[in-house]
Amino acid sequence: MFLAIAIYVPLNTFIAAKLGSVLQGLSIRIQSAEGSYRSELNQLLHRSFHVAVIKGEPAQKAVNGRRYREIDNTWASLNRVTAGYMGFELVHNFIGSRIVAYAPGLLPYVDKTISLQDYVTGAELATALINECSWFIHAMPDIATLKADAHRITELAQAIEAVQQPQDYYARSGPSVFEYNSQDAARGLTIHAIELLHSGDDQAFLTADELNFLPGEWILVVGDSGSGKTSLLKAINGLWAHGRGTITTPENVRSLYAAQDVKLQGVCLKDLVCLPDEAEAHDDASVASVLKEAGLEEIAEELSSDGRDGQNWDKLLSGGEKQKLVLAKILLLRPGLLFLDEATGALDSDAVRAFHQSIKDHCPEATVIAVMHDTSSIQSESGVDFFDSVLTIDNGIATKTPISDWRDTQE
């Protein structure tokens, strides 16, 4: 009897361990797929209105079918293996308690070597022993899930540790040897020997030998779509992964980066205008004043509100209103170094002029570097240029010229 138990339990434990490793692998795949699935689902919910308007449900269904096929197949595999494991466990319990426990003593009982009481008692003791020795088999699904969770947590911890040193992290997929220094504010912003690369590429898609932007200077950045205008602004702000070069920023000068797409947090209006400062750092009157100056008079008195009718400001405000909110932030914080990356793309010509004029009036010493595709509104109503120079990106080379020279090339 003990020999049967010694063979049966370890054999089934080995099978359970193999099935458990399959369960663990499938659980890890599910966890990995679910992360992207939730992100995609959130995006789908945000664009569901647009899909409905264009009657694109059949196309979206086909896209979803392709996109989520892997997670569906993984779920199906996990369910099959889990069901198989449950069946294996039931078979193990049945064979152990009915065959392995009773079969060894059956012949001695038939030969009347042992009594019925001894036979039944021995079988029940064998059943109890098998159950006690089979704890690993019963706990294997939970162990597999625990190991999968631990694996994902370990991966997350390793990723967090890796990004603590960004350049070392990015260097795994390409050169990342940017050097960031500071200098006297009167010397402005200097860029030296910049080369920007894409991940895995050795050839730079944008280069700039020596560029200097002085305090109060306005620089218009132009170039074809995909030429690297936004990439250059990101590199200056430490947001581009691969490349090399030296960026020297002015000391003790506040910098602000305004992108084209504005995503507002679910906080009150005053917090939105004041960020990254704390709201307490600015009084309500100042915040209301800049909102009015930016053309948002209708919401200037709702500083403590998170939104209206159950919707936050990100849902309530249009693209143009969000960009006016960014203008209010600029007027309140008064940065000395301002990057406008298509930050007026949702505004009409008059609103763009008003946007730039407000910055001119309230931040006269700010260095402004602006990416714009539509250059029809780069002059004030009186015909005065807002910008002093133009940074042109052509054939992967960034060159800076006075705006008068640039205008000559456009005629």
DSSP assignment string, 179-210: EEEEE-GGG-EEEEEEEE--TT--S-SEEEEE
Is pLDDT at 361 greater than 80 in this prediction? yes
CA atoms within 13 A on the CB side of 332: 29
* pLDDT classification of 114: cutoffs 50, 70, 90: confident
Sequence-distant (≥ 6) Cβ neighbours of residue 35 within 8 angstroms: none
CATH 3.40.50.300 in the chain: give the residue spans.
176-264+317-410
pTM over 0.75: no
pLDDT at 32: 75
Torsions phi, psi of 352, nearest 5? Answer: -65, -45
pLDDT tens for 55-111 read 777 887 787 777 778 888 888 888 899 999 999 889 988 888 888 888 888 888 788
Q: Are 223 and 375 in contact (CB under 8 A)?
A: no
Q: Which CATH superfamily is domain 176-264+317-410 in?
A: P-loop containing nucleotide triphosphate hydrolases (3.40.50.300)
- Average pLDDT score, the chain: 89
pLDDT at 321: 96
* pLDDT classification of 39: cutoffs 50, 70, 90: low
pLDDT tens for 144-183 read 888 888 888 888 888 888 777 777 777 778 888 999 999 9
Is pLDDT at 185 greater than 90 in this prediction? yes
Residue 68 three-state SS? coil
Q: Which CATH superfamily is domain 2-162 in?
A: ABC transporter type 1, transmembrane domain (1.20.1560.10)
Is pLDDT at 211 greater than 90 in this prediction? yes
Whole-angstrom distance, CA of residue 257 vs CA of residue 108: 88
Is pLDDT at 411 greater than 70 in this prediction? no
Sequence-distant (≥ 6) Cβ neighbours of residue 320 within 8 angstroms: 346, 347, 348, 351
pLDDT at 35: 63
For 77-91, 122-136, 317-331, 370-384, which range has the lowest pLDDT when averaged over its residues? 122-136
Q: Are 250 and 182 in contact (CB under 8 A)?
A: yes
pLDDT tens for 248-279 read 999 999 999 999 889 999 999 999 999 999 99
The verdict on whether omega for the bond into residue 215 sits within 30 degrees of 0, i.e. cis, is no
Is pLDDT at 391 greater than 80 in this prediction? yes
Bigger pLDDT: 65 or 284? Answer: 284
Rounded to an integer, the average pLDDT of 337-350 is: 95
* pLDDT classification of 214: cutoffs 50, 70, 90: very high
pLDDT at 183: 96
Rounded to an integer, the average pLDDT of 382-409 is: 93
pLDDT tens for 186-202 read 999 999 999 999 988 88
Angle at 140 between CA 134 and CA 143, to 5 degrees: 135
* pLDDT classification of 326: cutoffs 50, 70, 90: very high
Bigger pLDDT: 411 or 223? Answer: 223
For 125-134, 178-187, 312-321, which range has the lowest pLDDT when averaged over its residues? 125-134
CATH 1.20.1560.10 in the chain: give the residue spans.
2-162
DSSP assignment string, 290-335: HHHHTT-GGGTT-TT--EETTEEHHHHS-HHHHHHHHHHHHHHH--
pLDDT at 251: 96
pLDDT at 34: 67
Q: Are 411 and 242 in contact (CB under 8 A)?
A: no
Bigger pLDDT: 385 or 166? Answer: 385
Rounded to an integer, the average pLDDT of 358-362 is: 96
